[in-house]
Amino acid sequence: MAKSLTVKVLDKGFVRLVDVMGDDRRIAQAARVSYGGGTKTVREDAALIDYLMRHRHTSPFEMVEFTFHVKAPIFVTRQWFRHRTASVNEISARYSVLKDEFYEPGPAELRAQSSTNKQVGEGSLPEDAAREAAAQIGEVYREVYATYEKLLELGVARELARSVLPVGIYTEFYWKQDLHNLLHFLKLRLDHHAQEEIRAYARAVAGFVQKQVPLVWRSFEEHVLEAVTLSAGERDAAAELLDRQEFAEKLRQAGLSKSRVREALEKVFGR
């Protein structure tokens, strides 16, 4: 594997960029075909991409595709595969003997169960409990893989012998997805509510996306990744507290263009 195209994730996993079709220019060209525009400058491309992103005109972003080769624990891939907008091919344990490779978090990486959210781990375990838990995890993996090998030696079919393996074992898959849906994946899996292990993979994917389509990434961060959505009630409350002219001046001082200032005022105060 080319080191520049591979990012190590967790203890034994990785994300490798296999192929990319398209870049920022492809998106701008696809958007302009609707009105026959010719080649434009990078600055004009950036403005167009920013407009597409903030107004959710998504089809031009579908013109760019990424293909990744990923090695991850099964419990991570089960979350990953919830995103059903990609072409995917995973190693088959019916045809292949899975390697003795499991995700083994160290004591410092083991999180305590949240007291307020049933599906979230947060904070660290006491030092003694963390060491014991890490040892227990490693011991179980060794025992279960020995059982898996024994079943294979006894002639049990691979498709049945695999049933004893836990979700901590590593699997590998190819993942091909257009940029529009990949950005949606990143919006969800980079969020702090997502499990830390899949966030680690999302950060690796995000690094490749940022390098390939920097103009898109800048607009994605501004209008999606770091943006928030207000309910109607929240918007109305904010409008009562804000002075329209002062708010407009603050937006101009922040460097927003005339069109973006107008759009922001309409979001809060209406037309």
In one-letter notation, the amino acid at residue 180 is H
What's the CA gap between 147 and 142, in Å, rounded? Answer: 9
DSSP code of residue 63: G
Give CA separation, 243 vs 70, 71, 240, 249, 251, in Å.
Answer: 50, 52, 8, 10, 12
189 has catalytic annotation: yes
- Of the candidates 101, 72, 254, the residue with the CA atom closest to the CA atom of residue 174: 72
Q: Which of 16, 162, 189, 260 is an active site residue?
A: 189
CA distances from 64 to 4, 15, 87 (A): 21, 19, 14
**Shortest CA distance to 269 belongs to which of 256, 253, 251?**
251
Least Cα distance to 162 among 93, 113, 76, 240 occurs for 93
Render 172-202 in DSSP notation, one character per residue: EEEEEEEHHHHHHHHHHHSSTTS-HHHHHHH
CA distance 73 to 76: 5
Concatenate the DSSP letters of all residues of 113-126 into one string: EPSS-TT-EEEEPP
37: Cβ contacts below 8 Å, ≥ 6 apart: none
Give catalytic residues, as residue numbers: 189
